[in-house]
Amino acid sequence: MTVLVTGAAGFIGMHVAESLLARGERVIGVDNLSTYYDVRLKRARLARLEGHAGFTFVQADVSDREAMLSLAEREPDATRIVHLAAQPGVRHSLVDPYAYVQANVMGHLVMLEAARRLKRMDHFVYASSSSVYGGNRKLPFAESDRVDHPVSLYAATKRSAELISESYAHLFGLPQTGLRFFTVYGPWGRPDMAPWLFADAILSGRPITLYDAGRLKRDFTFVEDIAAGVLGCLDQPAPGNAPRLLNIGNHRSVEVRRFVEVLETALGRTAAVVDTPRPATDVEETFADIAAIEALCGFEPRTSIEVGIPRFAEWYLSWRKGG
């Protein structure tokens, strides 16, 4: 089987591509190597993938119509797409909103058009986000909940992609599954995410900022559990006229201050903490109802933060020392 993975040099993308390669699939990895964060990290992820004979890398932007449609014509044997490429980061959407619409809306549309041009498209799996739930106070978040009040532009672009996918399933019978990721962390994570920011500050002797004294809660989900869930869903194609939206999380809501406590232990250092009010872009709590994905493919996250954070810390310390 040939799978096209966009965002292959990204955090989740690298883990998904590795998992596909490990089971013998051919993977075509697409990434534009955006400078949003250190490209050296992205190239290091790619180096891991390029050690596999079944991996081919294409440097291209998913919002580039000519590049993506041309790729679809060159790779007629691709039967599945895992579309993970996106402009991430909730707060950065306040700084550069255009990048989010270009990557997350136009990029999604272009990839759907590329999927339509493949000879046989068995399944199009794409990354959405738990951020679409906005300020929802009903817990846990369920796929049937209303999601029409996003609290960030990032969330709005992810919800827009879901709606575009709904229309493409209706119009063209394209089999699709959208996955709403919940606070993914682990080795090879991004420098703009809390685990990296906290670890860097703690080791450098700088204070970390906790909103509302760290009482905010997140459904922290280990990246290897996420990759297993993505592959499980990929192997269960949705009906062409009935696209799916599924939560993929750990089904545990943990206070951020507890996350920091475990990270302090893993690093052997104590954090200096600055308390500040929660910004408008952040919600109080996220918590995933995962009954639907569990029923579909047996998804069962196994990694608690007490296991996952030390694994992240071990990798981070190695990366900090130069790999």
Catalytic annotation present for 154: yes
Buried-exposed string 189-214: b where 16+ CB fall within 10 A, e elsewhere:
bbeebbbbebbebbbeeeebebeeeb
Q: Which of 21, 19, 30, 16 is nearest to 1 (CA)?
A: 21
Buried-exposed string 59-79: b where 16+ CB fall within 10 A, e elsewhere:
ebbbbeeebbeebbeebeebb
**What are φ and ψ of residue 261, in 5° steps?**
-60, -45
Residue 89: HSE in the Cβ half-sphere, 13 Å Cα cutoff: 19
- Name the active-site residue from 36, 100, 133, 154: 154
H helices of the chain, in order, are 11-22, 39-50, 65-74, 97-100, 107-117, 153-172, 194-204, 223-234, 256-267, 291-297, 305-320
Q: Which residues have C-beta within 8 Å of that of residue 184, sequence separation ≥ 6?
A: 11, 12, 221, 222, 223, 226
**What are φ and ψ of residue 143, in 5° steps?**
-60, -25
Residue 76 has what DSSP assignment? T
Contact 58, 29 (CB under 8 A): yes
Active site residues: 154
